[in-house]
Amino acid sequence: MNIIWHKKSRQYHLYNDKISYIMGVTPVGELGGIYFGKKVHDKEDFSYVEYRGGLPNIVVDPDTESYSRELNRQEYPSFGTTDFGASAYEMEQSNGSCVSSFTYKSHSIFKGKTPLKGLPATYAEENEAMTLEVTLEDDVARMSLILSYTIFDKYPVVVRHAVFRNDGAETVKLTKVMSTCLDLPDQNYRWMQFSGAWARERIPQEKDLSSGSVMIESKRGISSANQNPFIIIKRPNTDEFTGEAFGFSLVYSGNFIAQAECDTYRRTRILMGINPERFAWPLDKGEEFETPEVVMAVTDSGLNDLSQTYHSLFNNHLVRGKWKNKPRPILINNWEATFMDFTEERILHIAEKAKEAGIELFVLDDGWFGERNDDYAGLGDWVENPDKLPQGIRGLARKMNAMGLKFGFWIEPEMVNPDSNLFRRHPDWALQTPGRKASLGRHQLVLDYSREEVVDYIYSMLKKVLTDAPISYIKWDMNRSLTEVYSAELPPEKQGMVYHKYIMGVYSLYERLRTEFPEILFESCSSGGNRFDAGMLYYAPQAWCSDNTDAIDRIRIQYGTSYGYPISSIGAHVSACPNQQTGRDVSISTRANVAFFGAFGYELDLNHITDEEFEEVKRQIEFMKENRELLQFGKFYRLRSPFEADQAAWIVVSEDGKKAVFGLYCMRSNVNMLPGFLRLAGLKEDAVYMLKGEEYYGDELMNLGVPVGKLSSDGLAVGRDFVSYVEVLEAK
């Protein structure tokens, strides 16, 4: 790994064993893009990529005679001069001018990576990464722009973000600030996004890029289940195992855009960052604005390789604290078993049975606080309801511990019900626009986390509940989108700051709680998977993936989620059947066979299943305890897509390839078909593995494939709806 500055050509080359990122100072003094992809030899000068020929109808930049921004790759293009593509930023001076040009002034190259201020970010030790910070200045607006690039030693990854600083006396307003801009030299790409809604999150969708823009966004104040802040740009022939692809993951949990723009010269520009809609950030003298970062990854070996990069990078350089790379406790959550209608006795009854099954952690969901007996009341009042918990959270936690279970509980700290003591006391603490009616979502309003006093207040309430109670886990929920966004505290010219300040408030509360209570495992949640993003993983190493716990739907949801996020982060539970969301009946074995590939748990009352099923649950828990490290942190490969076939399959392989667990699922039976073969991946070619009492070489399993007919005793194999197989392979 190195970052080279070629003084003569004024170009930078960031490289490691796998990739190169090259850019340099353009003839107008700004930064221009040269290359991002597989590693290439270093060279003093790559300026042959610059185009100086001139074309009809082109506007040429001043003082250059033949250089036009429009015809050349830009690193962080501005609006209003000779680049007519989508801009990376827009800013307005106090005289109303929106034209700017940031030119090279200096740079620094250092080992490691510095943290962002109040924002989630990847991190690295000095020997694990190198960072380049290029300082550019606009002398007219008296503004500095620092573009930051980190290259990791072991990953085909470059992480980027930008910082604006006002060095002058007059206020400058930022109205668009992307985290990255990447100009690619052609447009022969397919765009992949991960879209959905409540209960059907992160479903991959693809389209060809062609002239014009493709854009996804969130304007909900959360990253959202509708569009995930992660995209892939790949060659048309790229598949799971071969071909070139780029990934872009925004380490941010609020409003965002991701855009690909193909121009008239058949080139592609990728942009990603905070959604400019309703974003306006005035910078006074000496003030700075720092964007969130984007993790840009590249592969020439297909989408599994790209995903594995994100899995490993996020596990090792984004997740922090006690739970970093640590197998997750097997939990039981009472939500689907009781909803809000419970007593301590009922909870302990569920817990006893869970303990008997081998479960390690009990999670008390919604309904334990305030007047919270349905979803009309109580949010904001984080004090135990004595009718349900006579000795409070502390009393219940101690009883759980005495039983041999760890204990955790649910909170939704960003919300307030109009029917709550908090709202009655502080109605102005909710986001509401003067003179307008406030829209309710699940009968609740959103607290104004752009205000420090609101965050402080919620922190002190939660601290009270957490102090002296043996709490091991928190499920942090967030159940509605932001609307009528306006902060009672800010002056009119600062209202465009509220969305971003809101999420900064959320991050600050997370940071305070995890610093104060470092033992706690946080699981983020937002009506299931409404805020499943890299930003959240910095604070909460796992996320409730979806409220849809139907195993068959979950195959699709977890499969889609795996493109951008590690298996250790995917909260996955076995719930009761018929399933509460879909009404579908699936065996308890298939329910677990899907949930094994995630942060595993149960979401039902084990007193209500048959003895036979209970025995099976015990075996499942044993299996998970034995294999969870591999399942959650091994190399994960998607093998068969549930979006393309009636079957789905995946495999997780240990670092040395000697141990693997694969899952094969029949989503819909296919009458009168041969069982076929499932080609595995990641194994050692020469190693011999045992499968169903027979020996196979790794290369056989990966090339001829597993004879699917051998998996079941009746030979029907995946021939019936919702049948599944999970098998462990171990090299002899």
**Minimum distance, C-beta of residue 665 to ligand GLA, in the bound complex (Å):** 23
Piece in contact with ligand GLA (CB under 6 A), picked from 5-13, 259-267, 520-528, 580-588: 520-528
Active-site hit among 366, 448, 477, 605: 477
Distance CA 218, CA 233 (A): 19
Residue 637 CA to residue 701 CA, distance in Å, equals 14
**Chosen residue from 67, 248, 539, 544 binding ligand GLA by CB under 6 A:** 544
Q: Give the nearest distance from C-beta 25 to ligand GLA in angstroms.
A: 49
442: left (phi over 0), alpha (psi -120 to 50) or beta: left
Q: Are 40 and 34 in contact (CB under 8 A)?
A: no
Which range binds ligand GLA by CB under 6 A, 106-114, 522-530, 588-596, 615-623?
522-530
Phi-psi region at 672: left, alpha or beta (left = phi > 0; alpha = psi -120 to 50): left
Q: Are strands 256-262 and 294-299 parallel, antiparallel or unpaired?
A: unpaired
- Asked if residue 410 binds ligand GLA (CB under 6 A), the reply is yes
Q: Which is nearer to ligand GLA, 64 or 373 (CB)?
A: 373
Residue 350 vs 723, nearer CB to ligand GLA: 350
- SS3 of 520-550: the string is CEEEECECCECCCCHHHHCCCCEEECCCCCC
Window of 107-115, 523-531, 561-569, 694-702 that interacts with ligand GLA by CB under 6 A: 523-531
Residues 106, 327: Cα–Cα separation, whole Å: 45
Q: In this chain, which of 138, 547, 553, 605 binds ligand GLA, going by CB under 6 A?
A: 547
The correct pick among 292, 528, 564, 657 for binding ligand GLA (CB under 6 A) is 528
Nearer to ligand GLA, 373 or 669 (CB): 373
Is residue 522 a contact residue for ligand GLA (CB under 6 A)? no
Contact criterion met (CB below 8 Å) for 634 and 655:
yes
| Closest CB 358 distance from ligand GLA, rounded Å | 23
> Which strand (E) or helix (H) includes residue 262?
strand 256-262
- Residue 387: name the closest of 420, 442, 335, 346 by CA: 346
Nearby residues of 479 by Cβ (< 8 Å), 6 or more positions away: 412, 415, 441, 442, 444, 526, 527
CB closer to ligand GLA out of 527 and 654:
527
DSSP code at position 384: B
Per the CB < 8 A criterion, the answer to whether 642 and 663 are in contact is no
- State the Cα–Cα distance between residues 304 and 220, nearest whole angstrom: 30
φ and ψ of 356, to 5 deg: -60, -35
- The helix (run of H) or strand (run of E) holding residue 273 is strand 268-274
Q: Per rule CB under 6 A, is residue 479 in the interface with ligand GLA? A: yes
Q: Minimal distance in Å, beta carbon 413 to ligand GLA?
A: 13
CB 334 → ligand GLA: shortest distance, Å? 10
Smaller CB distance to ligand GLA: residue 133 or 375?
375
Q: Is residue 276 at the binding interface for ligand GLA, with CB under 6 A as the rule?
A: no
Q: Which of 61, 70, 477, 523 binds ligand GLA (CB under 6 A)?
A: 477
- Shortest Cβ distance from residue 231 to ligand GLA (Å)? 25
525 binds ligand GLA (CB under 6 A): yes
Smaller CB separation from ligand GLA, 70 or 477: 477
The nearer residue to ligand GLA, 70 or 547, going by C-beta atoms, is 547
Q: Does 365 bind ligand GLA (CB under 6 A)?
A: yes
Decide whether 293 or 603 has the Cβ nearer to ligand GLA.
Answer: 603
Q: Under rule CB under 6 A, how many of the chain's residues touch ligand GLA?
A: 11
Q: Is 666 in the site for ligand GLA (CB under 6 A)?
A: no
Q: Known catalytic residue: 300? A: no
Q: Does 448 bind ligand GLA (CB under 6 A)?
A: no
Pairing of strands 473-476, 521-524: parallel
Stretch of 525-533, 590-598, 641-649, 720-728 contacting ligand GLA, by CB under 6 A: 525-533
Q: In sequence order, what are the residues at sequence separation of 6 or more whose Cβ sits closer than 8 angstroms to the Cβ of residue 203?
A: 194, 195, 196, 556, 557, 560, 643
Is residue 138 annotated as a catalytic residue, yes or no? no
How many angstroms separate the CA atoms of 289 and 102, rounded? 16
Which residue of this chain has its Cβ atom nearest to ligand GLA in the complex? 366
The least distance separating ligand GLA from the CB of residue 367, rounded to whole angstroms, comes to 8
Q: How far is the CB of 331 from ligand GLA (least distance, A)?
A: 12
Q: Does 290 bind ligand GLA (CB under 6 A)?
A: no
Q: Does 532 bind ligand GLA (CB under 6 A)?
A: no
At 133, list the tokens: 């910070």
Question: Using the rule CB under 6 A, which residue among 74, 101, 527, 562 binds ligand GLA?
Answer: 527
Peptide bond before residue 578 is cis, with ω within 30 degrees of 0: yes
Residue range at the interface with ligand GLA (CB under 6 A); choices 38-46, 132-140, 206-214, 524-532? 524-532
Alpha helices in 481-610 (DSSP H): 498-516, 534-537, 551-561, 588-595
List of residues 6+ apart from 520 with CB closer than 8 A = 408, 466, 471, 472, 473, 474, 513, 514
Neighbours of 374 (CB within 10 A): 12
Three-state secondary structure call for residue 390: coil
Q: How many residues are given for the chain?
A: 732
The verdict on 366 binding ligand GLA (CB under 6 A) reads yes
State yes or no: residue 289 binds ligand GLA (CB under 6 A): no
CB 60 within 8 A of CB 69: no
Structure token digits, residue 116: 């962002």
Segment contacting ligand GLA (CB under 6 A): 276-284, 521-529, 535-543, 612-620? 521-529
Residue 523 touching ligand GLA (CB under 6 A): no
Question: In the stretch 313-342, what mask flags binding to ligand GLA with x, by CB under 6 A?
Answer: ----------------------x-------
| CB 636, min distance to ligand GLA, A | 24
Catalytic residue, candidates 366, 448, 533, 547: 547
Kindly tell me which of 415 and 678 has the beta carbon lying closer to ligand GLA.
415
Q: According to the binding rule CB under 6 A, does residue 415 interact with ligand GLA?
A: no
Nearest-5° Cα angle at 475, 500 to 502: 10
Q: How far is the CB of 475 from ligand GLA (least distance, A)?
A: 6
Residues carrying an active site annotation? 477, 547
- Residues near ligand GLA, by CB under 6 A: 335, 365-366, 410, 477, 479, 525, 527-528, 544, 547
